[in-house]
Amino acid sequence: MTSGTLRVTKGHGTQNDFVLLDDREGALDLTDALVRDLADRRAGVGGDGVIRVVASESLPEGAAALRDEPSAEWFMDYRNSDGSIAEMCGNGVRVFAAYLEHLGLWGGSGELALGTRAGVRRVRRVEGPDGAAWYAVTMGRWTLPGGPDALAAGYDAEVQVSGLDVVRPALSVDVGNPHTVLALRDDELDGADLSREPLVVPVPPHGTNVELVVPLGEQEVDGRVVGRVRMRVHERGVGETRSCGTGAVAAAMAVRAWAGAGAPDVWLVDVPGGTVRVTALPDGEAELAGPAVLVAEAQVDLDALGVR
Ligand SMILES: N[C@@H](CCC[C@H](N)C(=O)O)C(=O)O
């Protein structure tokens, strides 16, 4: 166990919360155990994940990002609260950008390119509803691992969720990390028990995040037709969280695929922690927009962390 103190910042995006670490030189030994202890909501700081700012040049994955985009100076090293590594975190990218601004590592104007294990992501500040400061992130290409057959059938997996009587068909969506999306009625969404991990068949080789969605139809917002969905999520490596950015992209793109030709490109996704906006871009990529908030800074006593 590392000893001494560690400076941390706490932030969240629609209440998907993270412990943020400034390790720009890559000096910290961020073990799975340290991640679990920091993320512990009782004996630690508490969070759905831990995010480390590290210079791209100091990690092998960061070197790959730099080859794709030489300006991707900073790498988002994302860990789930159980210590596992995930390829991407959509809410985390926005919070990471806000943290870089806070650290004086990004001026906040123009476009910020940053490295992730799912590839380079680009962030810019945008205006959210009622003038709120939001961040928009290009999330790369989303794909249906089940291919055209899954698109035609509308599903390629089955999911059993505690609290729901029957096994449901579901669609796998890759957003750099794995997702499985199933549609429910409103009352079913409230009745689902996500304190237990949903059972997915076929068993995904690297696990999956599971999104339960209720399509809410279309509405006009600022003269534009947008789709709306309600979503709850069980995150791989975490459990139920109050929001998931990559999950919101997966949910919106699944509902859009189910709706067929003519479905809106812009979707509002209501999660327990707020609302994010997902836009299908013409090149097969998606954009995620939403808030990012830093709420606290603290000095952690590493000798006291994890003490039972
Ligand atoms: N909450 C994140 C996703 C974090 C990673 C996920 N749990 C996984 O293991 O893939 C988001 O906002 O996208």
Tens of pLDDT, residue by residue over 71-85, are 999 999 999 999 999
Pocket of ligand 1 (CB under 6 A): 16, 49, 80, 86, 89-92, 177, 209, 235-238, 244-247
Residues 153 and 135 reside in one and the same domain: no
Is-contact 169 155, C-beta < 8 A? yes
Rounded Cα distance, 216 and 291, in Å: 22
Residues 152, 34 share a domain: no
pLDDT tens-digit series, residues 52-104: 999 999 999 999 999 999 999 999 999 999 999 999 999 999 999 999 999 99
Residue among 88, 123, 232 whose CB has most ligand 1 atoms within 8 A, to mutate: 88
Q: Are residues 129 and 224 in the same domain?
A: no
Based on the structure, what is the number of domains in the chain?
2
Residues 41 and 135 in one domain: yes
Query: Given a cut of 70, is residue 1 above it in pLDDT?
Result: no
CA distance 271 to 250: 13
ipTM of the complex: 0.99
Interacting residues of 78 by C-beta distance below 8 A, sequence separation 6+: 49, 50, 51, 85, 86, 88, 89, 92, 116, 117
21 within 8 A of 6, measured Cβ to Cβ? yes
Domain membership flag for residue 279: yes
CA distance 231 to 234: 10
State which residues form the domain around 170. 147-283
Q: Do residues 169 and 180 lie in contact, with contact meaning Cβ atoms separated by under 8 Å?
A: no
Summarize pLDDT for 12-41 with one digit per residue, the tens.
999 999 999 999 999 999 999 999 999 999
The answer to whether residues 95 and 196 belong to one domain is: no
Q: What is the mean pLDDT of residues 285-299?
A: 98
State the Cα angle at 23 between 55 and 240, rounded to 5°: 100
Which region among 2-6, 164-168, 170-174 has the lowest average model confidence (pLDDT)?
Answer: 2-6
Q: Is 155 found in the same domain as 126? A: no
Does 306 map to a domain? no
242 within a domain of the structure (yes/no): yes
Same domain, 125 and 164: no
